[in-house]
Amino acid sequence: MASSDASSQPPAASQWSWLRQPAVRQGLTAFAVVHLLCLIWLWPTIARGDALGDLEIYRSWAVNAFSGDAVPGLRQDWVYPLLAWLPIGIANLFGPDAYQAVWFGLVTVLNLLATLVVLGSLRDERRPYAAFVWLGSILLLAPVSMLRIEGFAAPLVVVALMWISRFPFVAGIMLAVATWIKVWPAAVIAAVIAARQGGGRILPAGILVTAAVTVVASLTGGLNHLMSFLTIQVGRALQIESPLATLPMWLDRLNESGYYTYYNRVLHTPEMGGAVPSYIATVSTYVLVAIVLAIAVLIVVQGQRDIDGTQLMLTGALSLVSTLVVFNKVGEPQFVLWLLPVVVVGLVSRDAWWHRVAWLLLAACALTTAVFPLMHGELEQHHIFPLLVLTLRNALLAVIFVLAIARLVRFRTVSPPADAAETEVEPATNGAASATETAQSA
């Protein structure tokens, strides 16, 4: 009779049993602590009905659009891709006074999804370590992870990379949506396709999402502005936090002629002027494109060899994304968040190489927040200490880029361990993924 009762129990209990594992509970506790600390930090702003940081700009766009004014991205050029309106608009559904609270709730839900997927089907201590790096970086970068549009793209990329083997079409949809929210996930898509890790399903999903966005833009009369986020970036000047601006910033600090800093009131950011910074800004676009193309070719070439395809994809993605950070004339604090999803999923794999990169990234996150927002005013005035901190941060980003390129070039022809096939980028065979399959079948 006992065995009969046990066999009659619904399978849901076993599907969610992984949540009771100690390491999973540690990860979820860390998630709760991180987001509780962020809520405490943001609570005075939420209670006043205000918005902090870039959310003030997002809220003004949403309020104006809801009032019938011209919608950026549809009626005028815009700095973001069109699907950035998803979080920006949804956060205003309950009115401008609730904007900060709704935004925080949306980001928290997506971060929880990413954390659960990373913790899913826990097999050893690697999973909580990856989750701790994910959550620790979110906390260290809270002024941008909680207050900028990257807070939506990053968890989507984490989930997509973790699901890429098991649900490639769904992963492709998520990567495409993330790209149409903030452009940088396109580098991850390029690495997936070049490494031949599910590109046959990823590419059609991306085409489907892009076609849907194009149709919406066409029907709403915004087709002429659909790609304006790219043309706006081309005309931008050298931003002071960009790694490319490190030397010009020091020369300006040393009172060298031909260098000066000014505040771009349209884009709300400090930039550098002068002959050399202008030349760097112009040339950097061509250099960045050339490096991206060279890396993509290298990934394809390495993919012809008998090497671990998952590690090739992840290392290629890190190489491409770090290129967008290091060789970009635009330098924003949230750019460091672009590296995080690839590193977190790399930590889930059996390759210890990612541990070193994770420590470098955590240090870069801490230094980034030290510069912005803690010392940004002093940096604009070229004070020596924030400039030193920024230089060290930029050096760490350059080291991550060099490490990724070196690994990509020197990949050894070694097959992955037989027991690693299910764990490298496949997060949950008996936990989160099983729940997903149950939901899909229902």
Predicted local distance difference test score (pLDDT) of residue 10: 53
What is the helix, strand, coil percentage profile of the chain, to 5? 70, 5, 25
User: Does residue 340 surpass a pLDDT of 90?
Assistant: yes
User: Does residue 412 surpass a pLDDT of 80?
Assistant: no
Residue with tokens 């771009």: 264
Contact 108, 4 (CB under 8 A): no
The string of pLDDT tens digits covering residues 98-155 is 999 999 999 999 999 999 999 985 655 656 899 999 999 999 999 999 999 999 999 9
Predicted local distance difference test score (pLDDT) of residue 46: 98
* Residues 6 or more apart in contact with residue 342 via CB below 8 angstroms: 157, 161, 188, 314, 317, 318, 321
User: Does residue 416 surpass a pLDDT of 60?
Assistant: no
Indicate the length of the chain as a whole number: 442
Percentage, residues of the chain above pLDDT 90: 74
Tokens standing for residue 401: 């880029």
User: Does residue 361 surpass a pLDDT of 80?
Assistant: yes
**How would residue 432 be classed by pLDDT, with cut points 50, 70 and 90?**
very low
Predicted local distance difference test score (pLDDT) of residue 137: 98
CA 417 to chain centre: 29
Predicted local distance difference test score (pLDDT) of residue 158: 97
Residue with the larger pLDDT of the pair 429 and 263: 263
Pick the closest to residue 328 from 191, 229, 236 (CA basis).
Answer: 236
pTM: 0.90
What value does the mean pLDDT take over residues 63-89?
Answer: 95
Q: What's the DSSP call for residue 370?
A: I
Does residue 238 sit in helix, strand or coil?
Answer: strand
Ranking 27-36, 195-204, 303-312, 430-439 by mean pLDDT, the lowest is: 430-439
Pick the closest to residue 138 from 146, 129, 130, 127 (CA basis).
Answer: 146
Predicted local distance difference test score (pLDDT) of residue 259: 81
The string of pLDDT tens digits covering residues 191-234 is 999 998 877 889 999 999 999 999 999 999 999 999 999 988 88
Strand order in the sheet with 238-239: 238-239, 269-273, 260-264
CA 433 to chain centre: 22
Percentage, residues of the chain above pLDDT 70: 88
The string of pLDDT tens digits covering residues 1-26 is 444 444 444 555 566 777 778 888 89
Residue with tokens 């030397």: 247
Mean pLDDT of the chain: 88
Tokens standing for residue 330: 């635009």
**How would residue 425 be classed by pLDDT, with cut points 50, 70 and 90?**
low
The string of pLDDT tens digits covering residues 156-183 is 999 999 999 999 999 999 999 999 999 9
Sign of the Cα pseudo-torsion (75, 172, 157, 117, in order)? positive
Residue with tokens 């949809």: 173
For 123, counting Cβ atoms within 10 Å of its Cβ (0-12 exposed, 13-18 middle, 19+ buried), the class is middle
Does residue 273 sit in helix, strand or coil?
Answer: strand
Residue with tokens 């996930």: 185
Residue type, 437: E
Pick the closest to residue 156 from 28, 340, 312 (CA basis).
Answer: 340
Domain ranges of the chain: 16-412
Predicted local distance difference test score (pLDDT) of residue 249: 93
**Residue 437: HSE in the Cβ half-sphere, 13 Å Cα cutoff:** 14
